[in-house]
């Protein structure tokens, strides 16, 4: 066996180790979580309205609704800002400005989530409480913080999608008399829509899987919020809050919550990959 084949084999084993780690994690949470789903019933577990594991109630529907509420709220705050940033960086900013702003935005991804949570508790929560009402710990507070947290993910992927649009598209539009903004709005963005949509979906996966910042800001109330100013508990925060003392069926129910969360995130990532690959084929 020559040197190239040995190196190829080593690289393949390294790649397989990553896949194996994912497979082991998947196997573990399903082994731990599926029995309680079978015991309680899938419908009762997902659509049950009451979560009281010590009393035999294992309904996670309020937390599923809460997770999607804060995620879509984060998209409302984060997507317009991220899209505006990516359009400016890709189409209007000078190279010097781009070299400064793009790394600065990407640094946001490296800030620990507990820092975002602390800023939310000291700035956003008091502002909501003083000017809008309620306790401040709410869907709205979570949405604002998560909207900022997903900003670098959506901005970076959208930027790459916009920059990948062939230059001739822009030149043809400008040659027909369109302005720079008209070319971006009517030619570049439609051509990059698959990549932008994939960025938004991946941002959703990032938001729905966030834990620490949500625990600090959400209020962690086991209700279905009917107002943005009401507290909420998400799937991730439920696992983090209760895993330390759970045992028996309670512990299995938390793993089952992880199974539901895993399926949701995998579905989002798969859809994002499908959308992105369809854009490449076009």
Q: Cα–Cα distance between 261 and 276 in angstroms, integer?
A: 23
Domain assignment present for residue 10? The answer is no
CATH number for the domain including 138?
1.10.3720.10
Domain assignment present for residue 3? The answer is no
Domain assignment present for residue 19? The answer is no
Give first-to-last CA distance, the chain, whole Å. Answer: 41
Reduced to 3 states (helix: H, G, I; strand: E, B; else coil), residue 52 is strand
Reduced to 3 states (helix: H, G, I; strand: E, B; else coil), residue 253 is helix
pLDDT at 17: 83
Q: Cα–Cα distance between 236 and 214 in angstroms, integer?
A: 8
Q: Rounded to 5 degrees, what angle do the CA atoms 45, 266, 238 make? A: 45
Domain assignment present for residue 21? The answer is no
Domain assignment present for residue 206? The answer is yes
Q: How many domains does the chain have?
A: 1
pLDDT at 72: 92
Closest CA to 151 of 88, 84, 63: 84
Q: Which residue range(s) make up the domain with 88?
A: 33-281
Q: Are 81 and 170 in contact (CB under 8 A)?
A: no
Q: What is the pLDDT along the chain (282 residues), one digit of tens a residue?
A: 677 788 888 888 888 888 888 888 889 889 988 999 898 888 999 998 888 888 888 889 999 999 999 999 999 999 999 999 999 999 888 888 888 888 888 888 888 889 999 999 999 999 999 888 888 888 999 999 999 999 999 999 999 999 988 888 888 888 888 888 889 888 899 988 888 988 898 888 888 888 888 999 988 888 888 888 899 999 999 898 888 888 888 999 999 999 999 888 888 878 777 766 665 455
Domain assignment present for residue 28? The answer is no
Domain assignment present for residue 142? The answer is yes
């Amino acid at each position: 066996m020559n040197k190239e084949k040995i190196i190829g084999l080593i690289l393949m084993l390294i790649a397989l180790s990553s896949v194996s780690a994912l497979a082991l994690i998947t196997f573990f949470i399903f082994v731990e979580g599926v029995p309680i789903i079978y015991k309680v019933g899938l419908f009762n577990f997902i659509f049950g309205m009451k979560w009281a594991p010590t009393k035999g109630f294992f309904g996670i529907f309020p937390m599923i609704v809460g997770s999607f509420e804060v995620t879509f709220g984060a998209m409302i705050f984060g997507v317009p800002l991220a899209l505006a940033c990516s359009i400016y960086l890709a189409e209007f900013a000078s190279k010097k400005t781009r070299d400064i702003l793009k790394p600065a935005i990407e640094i946001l991804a490296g800030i620990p989530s507990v820092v975002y949570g602390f800023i939310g508790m000291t700035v956003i929560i008091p502002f909501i409480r003083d000017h809008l009402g309620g306790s401040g710990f709410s869907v709205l507070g979570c949405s604002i913080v998560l909207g900022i947290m997903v900003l670098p993910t959506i901005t970076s992927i959208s930027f790459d999608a916009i920059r990948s649009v062939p230059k001739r598209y822009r030149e043809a539009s400008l040659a027909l008399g369109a302005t720079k903004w008209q070319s971006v709005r009517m030619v570049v963005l439609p051509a990059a829509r698959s990549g932008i949509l994939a960025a938004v979906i991946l941002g959703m996966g990032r938001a729905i899987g966030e834990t620490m910042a949500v625990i600090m800001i959400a209020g962690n109330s086991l209700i279905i919020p009917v107002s943005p100013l009401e507290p909420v508990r998400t799937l991730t925060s439920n696992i983090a809050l209760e895993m330390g003392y759970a045992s028996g069926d309670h512990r299995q129910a938390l793993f089952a919550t992880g199974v539901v969360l895993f399926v949701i995130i995998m579905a989002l990532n798969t859809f994002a990959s499908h959308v992105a690959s369809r854009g490449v084929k076009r």
